[in-house]
Structure 1
Amino acid sequence: MLRGRPQSVRLQAQRQQQRLLWGRASDLMSWMGFGGSSPSNDQPSTVQRVETAPLPPSAAATEAEAAGAFSRKASKRVLRPQPPEDATFPVPEDAVGTSKRRAAGNALAAFSRHVKRASTSAQLLSAWQIASQCQPFLMDRKDNSSLRLATTNDYSGDRLRLLQMAPAAVFAQLATGISSASMFVGASVAASATELEPSPEPVLDVVVVNEAVIVANLVLAFHNLGNHDQAVAFFEAYDRDRSTWLQEQQLRDAAASSVVPSSSVDGLEDGSEPTGTLKAIERITLLPRSVYATYLRSLARTKQTKKLLRVFEDDERQLERLCSTVPNVHLVLHACLDEKDGALAGRAIDAIVQYSPAAVVPLACYELAIRANLRARQRGERELQTALRLARLLHKDGGYVLKPHLWSALIKVSLNMGRADCALEVFKSYPHHRILEYQTQFRHALRAACHLKESDTALAMMRFCWAGHQEEYLGNKTLFGERHEYEEATFVNRDVNMESLASDAEMLRNDTTLLMLKQDAETELLNMMLWELLKHRHPAPALKQVLDLMNDTRSKGGAVVLRLAVTALLEHDVKQMKLTPRKAVENSLKFWDDHSFVLRAQGFLVHLLLAECMARQWDDECELLVDYMLELGVIHVPIHSVVKLMGTNELRGRFAANARISEKLLTKLPHEARRKLREVFYERYLMSCLRLEQFEKVREQYARLNLEQRYPHNEVLRTILRDAASQ
């Protein structure tokens, strides 16, 4: 059965305006009929043959460098189709057999392989130069690595191998009513050997290829060759014209609906929805998702992260289309981190979770999104809440745990933004994220909370960390179950398989070592917290809560921390509570008696209080401390502090007080403690007796204490003895 000859359709291919600033306005004026298109360049002859044979290495390199250095204005002109004024494009055939359809696919596949196997950018540009003329072309039979324009002799034979590129907008008009958006089979009229003798006979079928297919192949090929600038240029040149086509179609639809409102069949009357024609053009001219992904990768390689993010800002639908695969999301998140765009990072994670529920989002993607929100240029409440939501999503949906530095960063940012409740929420998640209590980041989080003016947050963190010593958590079985699981998971040295242990003694040593490690970590953390609270002048009630916990856990305080704590509490009793000096000292002694596990020795407490009393010239309270020390039976007597006190009394003429203190020490101290008394003590004691004119007592004590033999070379003691004997 013979089929009627399909008639060729001649379409005036409008010259696409390539200026970014004036392109859309110029196209609009041309469409409205106020300006004609400029004449094209010299039309290539139909018998022209352009070889794309491989170039020598040196020539290929020079050609590639020259191709990569084209100017912006030239690139806009070269990277777009250049059809002649009288270009004709075949219309689709009514019915195409299976064999012809297969042959058309093979012809297009051969072209795609040619582009894919190109070894230089010059070969790709040469192929584009031929295809962009919108004339029939084919692969050379003699040299399959080259393309050439079709001649009259090529319009014969049974093999379907002629290709012709149609601009995407023209292809959308021609392909109305067919399902394929990439190509169709049509027939064209061959030019005769001379231009004066047109050929009346029809020619063999031609495979009309959508420009979007060829541009997609070129973008992928340029990217694979590492010529990312060319890949970006081709994509943007096409995408710029595509936006113009869509806007022109919208204007046509709007004009048609305003003239005949009731004839709106494809879309809504108010123009709120795109018409069927616009949808068809949008579908046919849309580049594949893989090409968009390649474009994004080329932008990332050329460090154009701002332009990469602008793809999603201009069209929100691209998030659904591109962020449905993990590599694309990872690429977008890296750009968000570089540009500090936290909002887009959060939407990218939401997009892949929503549109690709089966995708396994790696931990790195969550971390990049959280970091992008924490480092956002205009970080506010929205970015903080997005980061917290992503952290919860990371653990609940992804099954991951936060790394210590991100966990600590969330707490610090929350505290800096005045959201102590958010910081506390993140802190309480440390058992779930297996954050070890002796890690540096854990210490940093507690230290950041102690830097606040209010101590409630730091104390709440402390109470949660040591929940076993707090009444508010004693009835929470869920918490203690989670805490037990946390301890089993974090103490990796614990061997769950008891059979692997050599003996019960080894198991006992293992448990003892773990217990010592935990106790040392607790002591270090509590001392750090007490130090930070003291350094930032937190009130005494907050200090006492930390000291209460230190006493419950039997954590010893450091020397410097205890010195500051004793001073701060004594200062609070005197200035805030308005207590008398004696009452303040007695109150301090009672408090530290109740917290004896914090002290390393009672003598150290007496030493600290003596220093404070001497600095404040509380003479009676100094003697009170000496009496307290003697009554308590302190083993490690702060002799140096007592001698310093006696020296201060001597300078102030309080010789009677020195005599009393000395006699108490000599009478009540144990023998071992008396042996630690040094010659300076005896000098102060005998000098006080001499100034009190107790000459006989001086001689008696000198002889009874055997000072002559103990200190035979002490001239001070000998002088005191001579002065007493001369009286």
Structure 2
Amino acid sequence: MLRRWPQRGLATAPATLQLQAPQRAFWSQAVEILSRLKPGDAGTSSGDKESDQDSSVPERASSSRGAKGWRPPVPGDVSFPDFLQDAGEGQIAHSKQVFADFARHLRRASDKSQAWDVVKQCRPFVVESGGLRFADVDSDAAGDKVEASEVLQMLPADSFAERTAGSNCRSMFVGATPSKGTIIAANEAVVVALLVDGLHARGQHWETISFFDGYSRERKKWLKARAAPEDTGNDGEARQGAEEQKNVADFVRTTRLWAPARSAYLKSLLAKSRYHKIVQFAREDPRNLDVACESVATMTSLLIGCRKQKDSALARLALDKMSRRNPIAVLPLTFYELAFKSAMQKKNRDEDDVENALWIARVMHDNAGYVLQPDLWFALFNTSLHLKREDCALKAFAMYWSNFRSLHQDNFRRALRKACRLSYPDVVLTMVRQWLAAIGDDVDAEAKTKVASFVLWEMLSSGHPMSAITEMLAIMDSSRIEATSAVLQRVAKMMLDDASSRLSPHDTIKDSLEFWKARSSAVQNSVYVMYVLLQQCLERGWLDECELVVNEIVERRLPGVPCNSIVKAMVANEERERFENSVSMCEVLLESLSRPAFKTLNQQFFEHYLKALLCLGRFAEVREQHARLKLGKRFPKSTAIAVALRDAKAQQM
């Protein structure tokens, strides 16, 4: 028995157009008369007349045209044969051969509308070299013009299904006519499938779509009348008995178009950009989805439709089904990218789209070894954050962190910036940890410093909590990554702002010094940190706390001193007449500084130091320090030092 029909041919043919009801009745009678008088011309004349009418119809088939061009109602004088149960094997074999010739004619006919014009009348016909023509079984057989066993008749698919219930006949059967003759009954679903396949092969896509849609509308009416939904296993079918369920399943199967026709329809929809109908076609019947997953061409059509209609759930389902059907095959990268874009190029993406995109990205990597393009990966990461799905963002990052060293470096920075600006500190810190674990020693210290400082800067700019900043510094400390000076300045200022809201200035500076002391390995330029803290003390008016910073410099024996900032503090003390504070800071520095650090003290430092001693009346110390430090030799052109020494000598006389 025939099961499948290959696609053939490339040509064009005009579409059919149904006559109005009064005209149909008239031409039905006329055709019957002509078939008796001149059998060879009856079918042709009818087909030519309708073909002439079709030539004036525009190429694009609208939905209204598809409805008019479909099979007319069965005439009242037409009777259908009954299923012949006791047909012999030879008779059945001959009938199959005749039906095969008919199918071959439908595939090869250049004008398929002429064949359909004859067949759609549901009257007996025969296949001749010139085409199809109507036949009268009794008159033709009596005149020896044709064997009765070579006469065919197309039955509407619902009538065919009713007559073949309980049998395995799906395409044709040997039927018994009321005149006790035999006739070959053809299933309308098979005829339509052959014509749809042939029209698509000839590039007549609008006709293919119109033809398929016309039959589908009729079939839906039949199924609705029998309460037989397309998808199996619904509540209505579950309540039916076992026998009724079998009958319904047989009816659905008998009236369903063959897979090649559905494949042709799917590809024609793509050719004419009917993307919404592609998605509708795949969703209305699970077997349609099976057809779409049979080949690369049909799968491509479906996934393009999913992308255009932004149906990520259907794209995911199709990928899963095709992967299960081809477990050892590697699907093309295009499949995965189309499915991914159906989720990520949607304007109003939701959490389901993110889940689908994440699943597609994971499957394409695990099953085929593909890696998402950087822009597509960033779209997934970005969408996850906007939808507050931190878990999805981290899953997406975890899939591709090993590629950030080469392929995704720019997008890695983009992802970090996005996470910082959307205030997701946990995501940022996890990403940095995974990145550092991945690169190891393959990236130099300068590159690490740039990335870490970039992250800190973005976190500070986005107002992340101090706890997140502290944790980021701890990560840098453990990896011995140095921060840039600009970042250190902003971090120190933010820490003071945060602590000053709940602590006194003294405790604020003390806590800050302890914090930076514990992370000295991450902040190698400790002199700069001391400079920043002194500047902040001066700006905030915390002059007494400047001495705490100076003591920290001495205690840590730093290789340098922020001398200018210390001089500014001494000037501020002079304005307040707090000379003893200036002298105290200077004495601590002079007693404990190392030789390299001592060399960083400039002329202004010693001028204000001697001035403070002079104002306190400690004239002997002025002369003593001038001699011990060799200030005259070191700064011979300093007028202030010379005047201080002269005044001290004058006061001692």
Aligned to 1:620: 544
**Shift of residue 557 of structure 1?**
0.5
Aligned-pair identity (%) = 31
**Shift of residue 285 of structure 1?**
1.6
Letter in 2 for 1:235: F
Distance change >3 Å, CA 717–CA 703, structure 1 → 2: closer
Q: Is the 8 A contact 1:336 1:372 kept in 2?
A: yes
Q: Is the 8 A contact 2:580 2:616 kept in 1?
A: yes
Aligned residue among 58, 63, 68 for 1:77: 68
Aligned to 2:94: 100
SS state of the match for residue 121, structure 2?
A: coil
Q: Is the 8 A contact 2:310 2:345 kept in 1?
A: yes
Distance change >3 Å, CA 269–CA 224, structure 1 → 2: closer
Aligned to 1:132: 120
Distance change >3 Å, CA 688–CA 155, structure 1 → 2: farther
SS state of the match for residue 311, structure 1?
A: helix
1:77 & 1:156 partners in 2: Cα distance?
35
Letter in 1 for 2:98: A
2:410 & 2:355 partners in 1: Cα distance?
25
2:268 & 2:424 partners in 1: Cα distance?
50
Aligned to 1:194: none
**Shift of residue 603 of structure 1?**
2.0
**Shift of residue 626 of structure 1?**
4.1
Letter in 1 for 2:69: V
Letter in 2 for 1:621: E
Higher relative contact order (CA 8 A, sep 6+): 2
Aligned to 1:558: 484
Q: Is the 8 A contact 2:172 2:185 kept in 1?
A: yes
Q: Is the 8 A contact 2:316 2:360 kept in 1?
A: yes
CA deviation vs aligned residue, 1:517-562 (integer Å, no higher than 9, x gap): 2645543443344334333444434333322221221111122221
1:569 & 1:65 partners in 2: Cα distance?
82
Aligned to 2:189: 212
SS state of the match for residue 517, structure 1?
A: coil
SS state of the match for residue 515, structure 1?
A: coil
2:216 equivalent to 1:231: no
Distance change >3 Å, CA 652–CA 367, structure 1 → 2: farther
**Shift of residue 232 of structure 1?**
1.7
1:212 & 1:555 partners in 2: Cα distance?
73
2:144 & 2:538 partners in 1: Cα distance?
115
2:310 equivalent to 1:340: yes
1:271 & 1:305 partners in 2: Cα distance?
39
**Equivalent runs, 1:457-476 vs 2, <5 Å:** 457-463=427-433
Letter in 2 for 1:534: L
SS state of the match for residue 232, structure 1?
A: helix
Aligned to 1:504: none
Letter in 2 for 1:76: A
1:399 & 1:720 partners in 2: Cα distance?
80
Aligned to 1:262: none
CA deviation vs aligned residue, 1:189-245 (integer Å, no higher than 9, x gap): 9xxxxxxxxxx998xx86543222232233233334444332221111101111222
Q: Is the 8 A contact 1:611 1:641 kept in 2?
A: yes
**Equivalent runs, 1:24-63 vs 2, <5 Å:** 40-43=25-28, 44=31, 45-46=34-35, 47-48=41-42, 50=44
2:439 equivalent to 1:527: no
Q: Is the 8 A contact 1:82 1:134 kept in 2?
A: no
Q: Is the 8 A contact 1:51 1:147 kept in 2?
A: no
**Equivalent runs, 1:225-374 vs 2, <5 Å:** 225-250=202-227, 270=240, 274-316=244-286, 318-320=288-290, 322-323=292-293, 327-353=297-323, 360-362=330-332, 364-366=334-336, 368-369=338-339, 372=342
Distance change >3 Å, CA 560–CA 677, structure 1 → 2: same
Letter in 1 for 2:269: L
1:233 & 1:278 partners in 2: Cα distance?
27
2:478 equivalent to 1:549: no
1:240 & 1:98 partners in 2: Cα distance?
32
Letter in 1 for 2:490: L
Aligned to 1:171: 160
Q: Is the 8 A contact 2:95 2:150 kept in 1?
A: no
Aligned to 1:86: 77
SS state of the match for residue 186, structure 2?
A: strand
Letter in 2 for 1:332: L
CA deviation vs aligned residue, 1:338-360 (integer Å, no higher than 9, x gap): 33334434433444455665665
**Shift of residue 608 of structure 1?**
1.0
CA deviation vs aligned residue, 1:152-180 (integer Å, no higher than 9, x gap): 88962679876543332333345557644
Q: Report the RMSD for the aligned CA atoms in angstroms.
A: 5.3
Aligned to 2:530: 606
Distance change >3 Å, CA 213–CA 562, structure 1 → 2: same
1:447 & 1:384 partners in 2: Cα distance?
20
1:680 & 1:273 partners in 2: Cα distance?
108
**Shift of residue 410 of structure 1?**
5.0
Letter in 2 for 1:296: L
Distance change >3 Å, CA 368–CA 97, structure 1 → 2: same
Letter in 1 for 2:210: A
2:515 equivalent to 1:591: yes
Q: Is the 8 A contact 1:82 1:132 kept in 2?
A: no
Distance change >3 Å, CA 73–CA 606, structure 1 → 2: closer
Give the gaps of 5 or more residues in structure 1. 1-17, 19-35, 55-59, 190-199, 252-266, 468-482, 488-513
Distance change >3 Å, CA 573–CA 238, structure 1 → 2: same
Letter in 2 for 1:284: T
SS state of the match for residue 599, structure 1?
A: coil
1:80 & 1:385 partners in 2: Cα distance?
46
**Shift of residue 629 of structure 1?**
3.8
Give the gaps of 5 or more residues in structure 2. 1-17, 36-40, 229-236
**Shift of residue 380 of structure 1?**
5.7
Letter in 2 for 1:585: I
1:629 & 1:565 partners in 2: Cα distance?
19
Distance change >3 Å, CA 268–CA 652, structure 1 → 2: closer
2:239 & 2:573 partners in 1: Cα distance?
103
SS state of the match for residue 527, structure 1?
A: helix
Across the two proteins, how many residue pairs are aligned to each other?
Answer: 599
Give the alignment's TM-score, normalised by structure 1.
Answer: 0.65
Letter in 1 for 2:225: E
Q: Is the 8 A contact 2:126 2:132 kept in 1?
A: yes
Distance change >3 Å, CA 209–CA 648, structure 1 → 2: farther
SS state of the match for residue 209, structure 1?
A: strand
Distance change >3 Å, CA 702–CA 519, structure 1 → 2: closer
2:80 & 2:334 partners in 1: Cα distance?
50
2:398 & 2:180 partners in 1: Cα distance?
84
Q: Is the 8 A contact 2:46 2:117 kept in 1?
A: no
User: Could you say which structure has the higher helix fraction?
Assistant: 2
Q: Is the 8 A contact 1:326 1:359 kept in 2?
A: no
Distance change >3 Å, CA 691–CA 110, structure 1 → 2: same
1:516 & 1:357 partners in 2: Cα distance?
37
SS state of the match for residue 619, structure 1?
A: coil
Q: Is the 8 A contact 1:342 1:375 kept in 2?
A: no
